[in-house]
Every structure is written in structure tokens, then in C-alpha cells.
Structure 1
């Protein structure tokens, strides 16, 4: 709707600024003009405002008509074309610079899921080319359901694995580093292949190309088939809906049936550890290495995300105040390497922890200082070969005293926490353990105490809103159902 604003310059006559809001190709656009008036003709402020509003309405109508006349017909976009554009927009948002900009919260995206989207699009083009070649504005819900049916019956997925043949080592006439310079594979991966480890077909092809030999002469190829899991099916379905939503937002192809639910509008199942599982895991930790203890105890006692734990430095640990300062996150992003960024919600919080945890952290800090002293000049100067592809990004982190680090003082890849946690959980008899389960447990423990309000729990966990805490963590850690039943029996039946 048109609007006006009175402008009063110091040494020039007054005038009204006219603002027209028009729609061009499904997007709102603002146009500006000015209305100059003669104070002798329009003597009152009311008359001047009325004349300015009439001029603004005429200006808006003229600009809208001009936009309609100049509007070019939109090119016909297929599902595949819109999907490519959507993937490129996701790639632009995952750059470290985008994560540090102020508008990052409006368009979050995980670094690893963008690469998966490219795989989803290639698979859809292979299985259902009729769907990906359809015009985006003509796809109906029936077409979408047919696509999902075809994905279910498309048969098992095929993957080719390669193992080095006996005696193929004789073809290696150069070092792994020189071979890596001739192909798209790291020296570490080539070394693993020559040790007899099973690798992907792409890796085998690249090594054969570097050696100048046919791949069949070097590797034994095996075809592995496996069915498409329900989780993967959901990912394909979500990707198709995201592309349709992107088309609706940018090109006005409104399809209400494809609208994604608002974030946080549906509660989800939260898997947390039970009391006996926590005790079993803590007993097993006494027999684990210091780094395993540090990772698992920190995740359980602070409820931080794995990226936030990876970015934690000793300056963030307040032994006297019994708090941990969480304001940054360390991620490994493809194409950028190790990057220190903001937390998921771009917040800054202090997490209160148990004194027993701080006692362990003091022992671990002494162990950390001993390790640093023994390494001497090698501390944060030597980089292992397997981290060679992240050399530049690791060097940029030199000088930070990371709590969770390797023997050279470099931070551990947070993506590797899952294997470590699962390994310790298997030894303790706690199956299907993953790092985020400790965060669920941390929040559920706090919420089980009725004297700790939801706002406090949300602040400790780093949630943007307390409603997020209430929406997700509907389960309780211990005796919550029993307390509810006891309270109802006491109040209603006097028991």
C-alpha cells in the first residue's frame, strides 16, 4: 500500500516523500517519488496530507501498470533446474563467512547435507527422469506420490568396492605423495588402499590412472547391493518438498500441499540415557583413556553440541566459578577445512557444571600440560599426514589451547566423536550411543527438577527460546511419570 512522509529540509521548501509498494515477478518492490505543494493553495496540514495520499495512490497504480507492461514472461523451469538453483543457494550459505554474518540465523544450513542434495538430485534423475523434467508449476501431489512409490520399488542400491589384488604393489614406482599429485585422492587414502583396505570404485579408478594401468589389473571389483532404508526415503521426500518450497518462495508457484511445517511445530522423539545406563557408562569411563573420558564427561556434564566442545579452549573453563563459557563452535567444512564459527543459535552462554566434573577437568588439565611439555617444539607445528588436506586451516588455529586435542595440540575433528562414543558405549553395554544423546540427557536431568524453571534450562542448553525446550524435551529423566501419578492420587483420592 502506498504511503507518504513529510520531509522538512532546512533551507528548501517542504515536500512529501511518496512510497509505492508494487509486485514484480512475485516479489515486492518499493518505488519512490515526491509531491511538492504550494502552501498558499493547500493551507491546512489535513488538505496537504490528503493531496499527497491521492498522489501516492496514483503513483503506485502507474508504477504497477508499468511493471506489468514491462514484465517479461518467466522462462519455463523444470524441477531439475530449480533443484540446481536451490543447491547452489545452499552452498553459498555454508561458507564460513556466511556463518559469521549477522543474517546467518535466517538461512542456516549444515555443511554436510548440501553435498547429499547433489546425490539426491542425480538419483532422482536416474530413477524418475519424467519427474525431474516436468515444469515445476505443473507438478501435483499425485506426481509427488508416484515419485515416492517408484523410489520404494526401484530395487536395491548398487555400490562398487575395490580391493588391491595380490602382487599389484609392483606397479607402485613412486611415493604416495607423488601419486596423489596425479589424481584426485589423498596420499593417506592411497596408502590405505595399498595396505589392503577396501576402497570406493572412484578411488580405485584414480589410483589406476595415476599408475597408468587398467583398474582391473590392480583391483578386484566387488558389487555390493543393499536396500534403500526408510531414513533415506524420508531424506529423498524432504529434498523434493524443499525444492517445491523454494520454487513457491521465489517464483510464486504456490502449492499448499507441499508446504513444509514450521520449524519446531512438531514434537520429536528424544533419546536420552536412563539412570542405570549413566552409572554403567561412568564406571566404564574409569578404564578409558583420558581423551575418551574428557569427551564423554564434557558432553554429559555440559550438554554442549559436539562442535561447541571441539571449539572449547582452556580460557573458557572457570575452575573457581564452576562454569564453562560457550560462545563458539569448531566445524570441518568441505572445501574450507577447520573453521571457528558462532554457535548454532549465535548465542553466548555460561554453563553451570557439577564440582565433581571440575575436579576431573583439573586432573585432565594437568595431563594436558604434561603432554604439551613433553611435545616441546612439536606442539602445534607438526601435522599428521591424514590431516594434510586441512593443513592451511589448521595452521590458522595455532595458538588456541583446545581442550580436546591430539598429541600435537591440534583439535580433533568433531565428526570423529561419534565413533569414539559408540566404541565406549559398546564396551559398557550401552548400544546405539551417539554424542547428541548426552545433550538430551543433560536437558532432561535439569527438567526433572521442578525447582528449575524452563527459561533457566533453555539458557543452560543454549536454546533460542524456552518454547524449543518445551517442544522437544517432553520426556523426563527420572521418576517424572511416577511423580505425576502420585500427585494425582494424592489430590484426587487422598492417597
Structure 2
């Protein structure tokens, strides 16, 4: 409702400026206050429990990457091999996989509108290299039937992973773990929260998350910053 009010308010401001109307009636309306949804995250121990339970899931590398990088779901599923620098252990977020109604799966630029780099740990790099070796085997098995989109996380035939299927498995893994449920997107918040609690500078966290300003990061995570 608040968003619609902003759109109408701006449209009528332009209409007054262009002498189409004499008054912006949206000025007489008080929009509702924004209600902040309480952020839910896991602590270090809960993260370990979840990763241990989901170890045998085919989506485990996706969960691991999301937790270790703070990338959005679309960014993880849209990650390509050309976007990974294994020499320096850096991931470049350059595209996002999105599910669009009546269109299907499509690739778009990141939500921030620009690419960014994220440093990764040697252990995560090792897991990603395992996937690369497995994909070489899959390419050999499928031959011309393999759809090579250069995706890091793909189906056996190379096609993009269905976000809804992955999300369904994620929910199942959380239920199996017995942990309090948090959304897949909350793995991003968990990553940021754990970094800030460890004393990592908010500017570093902000750049990893792809926030436009450090103020955005501070507003979102002030409650977890060390005193």
C-alpha cells in the first residue's frame, strides 16, 4: 500500500507540474507505516547442524555456497564457471537465474545492477572443484544431449536447476534437522550476521552483499553489531 501511494503521489506531482491537474490529492492521504519483519537467522552451531544433515542432498553445494557467500538464490543458481577465479579464490556475481511466469527460467543482471566480487574460502573452492570434475563425467555420458550453459549448479544434463525444486528440498532438510525454520533467503542474513558478530567491518559485509550503500547494511544489521 505504501509503495502504491508513492507511485501515485509522484505521478500526480508530475501532473500538477504539467498543468494537467491543479492539486495533488495524494497529499491528503496518510500512507500506512512500514512494519519491519523480524529477521530470523541461525548461529554457528545451527549452521553446522544444517550442513551436516544436508550433506547427502544433491543441493548441498548450493546451501554451502549461499551460507559462505551471502549470495541471493538467483545469484547462486546463475553462477557460471567463467565467474570463478580459482587462482585467487574469488567469485564474481554477474548474472542471476530468475523464474518468470509464462516465460520460465531466464537469466538477468544482478539485483544491484552491477557485478561484484566475493572472496571465498579454500574449503568452498575445493567443493566447487569437485562439482567441476563431476560435470566433466556428465558431459561425457550425455554427449550431444548435454546443454552446456557453463553453470556451476546444474542438472545432470546441464540445464538450470529449478529454483522451486531446490527450495522444496531445502525445506525438507531444515525439517529433518529439527532447527527453527528460516527461509533460504535468510541464509544470506545468517552469513552477514555471523560476519558482523566476528567483528568484520560493515563496509566489507556491505560489499559482499552487494548493497548500494553501507547505510543500508547498517540499518538492516545494527542490532547484531558488537557494542
Taking structure 1 as the reference length, the TM-score comes to: 0.41
| Residues 455 and 254 of structure 1: CA distance in aligned 2, closer, same or farther (over 3 Å) | same
Aligned to 2:20: none
Pair 1:361-2:128 in alignment: yes
The partner residue of 1:470 within 218, 224, 227 is: 218
Aligned to 1:275: 44
Pair 1:311-2:83 in alignment: no
| Residues 427 and 242 of structure 1: CA distance in aligned 2, closer, same or farther (over 3 Å) | same
| Residues 459 and 266 of structure 1: CA distance in aligned 2, closer, same or farther (over 3 Å) | farther
- Unaligned runs of 5+ residues in structure 2 are 13-23
Structure 2 Cα separation of the partners of residues 347 and 312 of structure 1: 14
Pair 1:453-2:214 in alignment: no
Q: How does 1:65-464 map to 2 (within 5 A)?
A: 238=1, 241-251=2-12, 252-259=24-31, 268-286=37-55, 288-289=56-57, 291-380=58-147, 399-450=148-199, 452-464=200-212
| Residues 316 and 430 of structure 1: CA distance in aligned 2, closer, same or farther (over 3 Å) | same
Taking structure 2 as the reference length, the TM-score comes to: 0.85
Following TM superposition, by how much is the alpha carbon of 1:475 offset from its aligned partner in structure 2, in angstroms? 3.9
Structure 2 Cα separation of the partners of residues 351 and 374 of structure 1: 33
Following TM superposition, by how much is the alpha carbon of 1:369 offset from its aligned partner in structure 2, in angstroms? 1.8
Q: How does 1:22-33 map to 2 (within 5 A)?
A: none
Following TM superposition, by how much is the alpha carbon of 1:444 offset from its aligned partner in structure 2, in angstroms? 1.0
Aligned to 1:233: none
Tell whether the 8 Å contact from 2:44 to 2:194 is kept in structure 1 after alignment.
no
| Residues 256 and 473 of structure 1: CA distance in aligned 2, closer, same or farther (over 3 Å) | farther
Tell whether the 8 Å contact from 1:300 to 1:438 is kept in structure 2 after alignment.
yes
What is the root-mean-square deviation of aligned Cα atoms in Å? 2.2
Following TM superposition, by how much is the alpha carbon of 1:260 offset from its aligned partner in structure 2, in angstroms? 6.1
Following TM superposition, by how much is the alpha carbon of 1:402 offset from its aligned partner in structure 2, in angstroms? 0.9
Post-superposition CA distance 1:214-261 (Å, at most 9, x none): xxxxxxxxxxxxxxxxxxxxxxxx3xx544443333232223543366
Structure 1 Cα separation of the partners of residues 114 and 36 of structure 2: 23
Q: How does 1:7-18 map to 2 (within 5 A)?
A: none
| Residues 373 and 344 of structure 1: CA distance in aligned 2, closer, same or farther (over 3 Å) | same
| Residues 408 and 476 of structure 1: CA distance in aligned 2, closer, same or farther (over 3 Å) | same
- Tell me the SS of whatever aligns to 2:135: helix
Decide which structure has the larger Cα Rg and report it. Answer: 1
| Residues 260 and 246 of structure 1: CA distance in aligned 2, closer, same or farther (over 3 Å) | farther
Post-superposition CA distance 1:452-494 (Å, at most 9, x none): 32111111111111111111123439xx5xxx4xxxxxxxxxx
Structure 2 Cα separation of the partners of residues 351 and 242 of structure 1: 32
Following TM superposition, by how much is the alpha carbon of 1:370 offset from its aligned partner in structure 2, in angstroms? 1.4
Q: Which protein has greater RCO, CA pairs closer than 8 Å, 6+ apart?
A: 2
Aligned to 1:186: none
Following TM superposition, by how much is the alpha carbon of 1:266 offset from its aligned partner in structure 2, in angstroms? 7.6
Following TM superposition, by how much is the alpha carbon of 1:418 offset from its aligned partner in structure 2, in angstroms? 2.0
